[in-house]
Amino acid sequence: MANNHLMVVGGHISDAENMGGALMLKHKRAGWDVTIVAATPGEKGHPTLSAEDYLEMRLEDARASGAFVGANVEVMPYKDGELQVTEEATWIMADLIRKYRPTVILTHWKGSMHQDHINTHEIVHRALFKAALPAFRREHPAHSVGAVLYPENWEDMEGYIADVYVDVSDVFEDYLKLLKTHALMRESYASFRYYDYYEALGRTRGALGGFDRAVTLMRPRSMYIYERRAGLLLD
Ligand SMILES: [Zn+2]
């Protein structure tokens, strides 16, 4: 039987880590495989570096965080701020799903201030269908994902509902180290205090959920896919 596999899909390098990093570490420790996907590198986010120079840094950080988790890392061939919901992007995502065969996918909730995040959400949902249908003949055989859920991301809070609180106390110190594999969260050039936010969010969600540290997930409203059936570790 194939191993359980958690895939976390972000719009930019480090989105998957900041919203899904603690769950990646928790599942990796429990023997799951983990794959990190960035739809774009997020190469335009530096206040002084050119996109070309920042791209190199971001790709290096992505490799470092993948090594820290023990995860596969994939970066789709799109530019920061230019991601479109296209057949091509949908097929690239569907082929990644067929290649890695994730049990569970975590990706952006669509209520986002960032269009790349909204489009990533849409591309993942379109790709589920193309990945699952055997009649589409591709390099890898069809694969049905067991569950899709939305982790908490400061940019995706429009209508976000924290349905599930997951205890991540055991992995939280490593999660903070994982965040710091990214210059975006290690240095102080970003206009948003990522590290402080996610460190405090773990405490806040922990207090609300009755744990030392916790992260939350939102369930899809319109799809009958249940995370427990897919074996996601929620206790
Ligand atoms: Zn982003």
DSSP, residue by residue, 21-33? HHHHHHHHHTT-E
Q: What is the 36 CA–ligand 1 centroid distance (Å)?
A: 14
Cβ atoms of 126 and 90 within 8 Å: the answer is yes
Q: What is the 16 CA–ligand 1 centroid distance (Å)?
A: 9
Cβ atoms of 110 and 121 within 8 Å: the answer is yes
Write the CB contacts of 4 (distance below 8 Å, at least 6 apart in sequence).
Answer: 27, 31, 32, 33, 103, 104, 231
- pLDDT tens column, 25-78: 999 999 999 999 999 999 999 999 999 999 999 999 999 999 999 999 999 999
Q: What is the structure's pLDDT at 234? A: 72
Q: What is the 39 CA–ligand 1 centroid distance (Å)?
A: 9
Q: What is the SS3 assignment for 97?
A: helix
Q: Percent of the chain beyond pLDDT 90?
A: 89
Q: Has residue 226 got a pLDDT over 60?
A: no
